[in-house]
Amino acid sequence: MDRKEAFSLALVGGVLLGLAGLVFGLVYLLVTMTASTLDEEARGPAPAFVPSRGRDGEIDRTPMAAPPILPKPAPQGPPPPGVEALVESMGSPDWEVRSRAERKLVALGRRALPALRKALEHADPEIRWRAAEAIERIEKGE
């Protein structure tokens, strides 16, 4: 084997070794990233920390409690007049009457919720369905 063949053979070997190292590195990176992602999913989100300093000057890393997410309070007092009639109108044979009644109840917002929740137990399936839709739209803030 002359010098040229030896150099070519060494060059090809070096390139193959470099490619093998690159592939190994990419596989290692992929495996560790996947494992850390699975660990984070198992542990849940990282806690928020209070950025304050203690007496010794060190950063205090006491986890903060997340504020509770409370539902908006239900309105107090009786529902506005005509709500019961609007609920009954959602069972009308006329599509336009049903649709208009549902829109008006949604426009009343949270004040209509007690009557709409009561309508979820109505005998008419159309009223039950429209009441559920109206409650969902009110709670989403539409």
SS3 call for 4:
helix
Best mean pLDDT range from 15-19, 62-66, 89-93 = 89-93
Q: How many CB atoms lie within 10 A of CB 91?
A: 18
Cβ pair 48, 66 in contact under 8 A: yes
Q: Is 29 helix (H, G, I), strand (E, B) or coil?
A: helix
pTM (predicted TM-score): 0.47
- Exposed/middle/buried for 86, CB within 10 Å: 0-12, 13-18, 19+? buried
* Res. 82 pLDDT band, cuts 50 70 90: confident
Report pLDDT digits (tens) over 85-122.
Answer: 999 999 999 999 999 999 999 998 888 899 999 999 99
> What are the structural domains of the chain?
3-60 (no CATH), 83-140 (1.25.10)
- Mean pLDDT lowest for which of 30-34, 71-75, 76-80, 131-135? 71-75
Q: Which residues are CB-contacts of 45 (< 8 A; sequence separation ≥ 6)?
A: none
Neighbours of 109 (CB within 10 A): 15
